[in-house]
Structure 1
């Protein structure tokens, strides 16, 4: 018998969020800033869909802390990011009795008419859901804590014609600093990330070493799943350490294998495309020319 699906609570507004978790009602209809040290609440078990942006700075959270599905001994503050549409599973076993920090919750409508509304999608950390968090030094934690404090004070002011502009500018500054610290993280966790890079390269080499007739085109999602990280995290890590995204690595390996097939087999260009997993040979020819400057046929002829 198929097990029943777990119920999922929908939190579509800031008011929904504060009511569900037992926080004070929001002072602004589209945003709230919660001082977690003053409003400690036991975790609420259950699956939740949230139509909101959430940025939380937490410390002294007692329980297992995982980063990219791996456990790290890192006791400083942890900054986590959630985007609208993401589903979260809460765990009531975590001890929040000594929790400190801040939580910013805002509705996407707050960013309408502001450039940040378009730019926020470029911040990769919002796509990580529960897989990766940003680990902060004491100095970084203090700086971001001050920004959260400014947001907290501003959002409690009476709403006027300038309120939304001021709040969005403060969020913009907070995310800009987070982006700086996020890219620093790849350098301070170099050993762990280089291990991830080595495993990615091993998987990539193994994938293209096969000559399966029905091998599909490789995807970023496939390698991210194999490495137990999100696609955005994998691409950002590779870009930081190698200067190329995951897709660029895949294209490079794909073209190198195509060259080998063109020069060492009697396969036609169309057969080569099918061998590589392309459904349409013309797409293979376009990609090959884009990456090498030659069509597959011209490349084969030039090597004779």
Structure 2
């Protein structure tokens, strides 16, 4: 089993790097002030936003490899594993890391919003690649947080830092939306692949053996994380990937209901529903009438 260093606190990571900690729950670490960084796999107990200024080779993130490009942001959430155990080290590293513990967010508006920043669950090959203007905006956000950290801690510190982090993350949401748009042709190709995955799924025996197709299954077929895949589909169609799958299933159900030689229960099981009443409920909610009533219209 590979040796993975478990880092519960921001201070533990800074100690590993040989960097100073100004606040126990949040830190900005400037890698250019370090002589080197030893390579190791780490299990993070806090959020990290890594800004990579220069290309620095390949890193393992989960099970995937990723070659950093200049001006890239990578996001890590508590419980994720990143790094590589190759016995090496990076000399004269560049870039910045924002680390903040979930405890910092308690009692702030940001605590409720963290679930909306789905890019913390993107795979590393789905990192944010920024323009020069976008890089400067992000660097300004880092500077604002650092300046507050250098201020004496008082009753306002937590709210100000949390607000600055929220501003940074909101910019990242905007930049990701731009990234989706600039890759629109790729996204349209993805939508075609999504349709094909669903058609192939229902042409196979999977509905009987596995059940209904999941967003995770479809994302895996195109080598994307479920969150990134879902965000791309929503951007392209205005619907969630889950809703898109459900609408596909309803259209497939309509097709089967017009064949007349199958009962409602047989169709439900053929589509992958465990229980016919579940199929009935979803069909009526989507179409406005029961499957039985729909079927009788064609009899």
What does residue 102 of structure 2 align with? 108
Moved more, 201-210 or 260-269: 201-210
Contact 1:235 1:245 in 2 (8 A): yes
- Could you tell me which runs of 5 or more consecutive residues in structure 2 were left unpaired when the two chains were aligned: none
Moved >4 Å (runs of 4+): 64-67, 69-72, 91-99
Alignment of 1:9-28 (within 5 A): 9-20=5-16, 22-28=17-23
Question: CA-atom RMSD, angstroms?
Answer: 2.5
Paired with 2:60 and 2:179, the residues of 1 have a C-alpha distance of 15
Paired with 1:163 and 1:212, the residues of 2 have a C-alpha distance of 54
**2:272 equivalent to 1:258:** no
Contact 2:39 2:87 in 1 (8 A): no
Label 1:262 to 1:187 Cα distance change in 2 as closer, same or farther (>3 A).
Answer: same
Cα deviation, 1:214-235, whole Å, max 9, x if unaligned, reads 2421111111111111111001
What does residue 37 of structure 1 align with? 32
3-state SS of 1:294 partner: coil
Paired with 1:176 and 1:266, the residues of 2 have a C-alpha distance of 54
Question: Could you tell me which of 158, 162, 184 is aligned with 1:190?
Answer: 184
Contact 1:62 1:94 in 2 (8 A): no
3-state SS of 1:264 partner: coil
What does residue 225 of structure 2 align with? 230
Paired with 2:263 and 2:255, the residues of 1 have a C-alpha distance of 13
3-state SS of 1:42 partner: strand
Query: Normalised by the size of structure 1, how large is the TM-score?
Result: 0.89
Paired with 1:71 and 1:198, the residues of 2 have a C-alpha distance of 26
- Could you tell me which runs of 5 or more consecutive residues in structure 1 were left unpaired when the two chains were aligned: none
Paired with 2:87 and 2:71, the residues of 1 have a C-alpha distance of 20
3-state SS of 1:25 partner: coil
3-state SS of 2:161 partner: helix
In the alignment of these two chains, the number of paired residues is 297
Query: Normalised by the size of structure 2, how large is the TM-score?
Result: 0.91
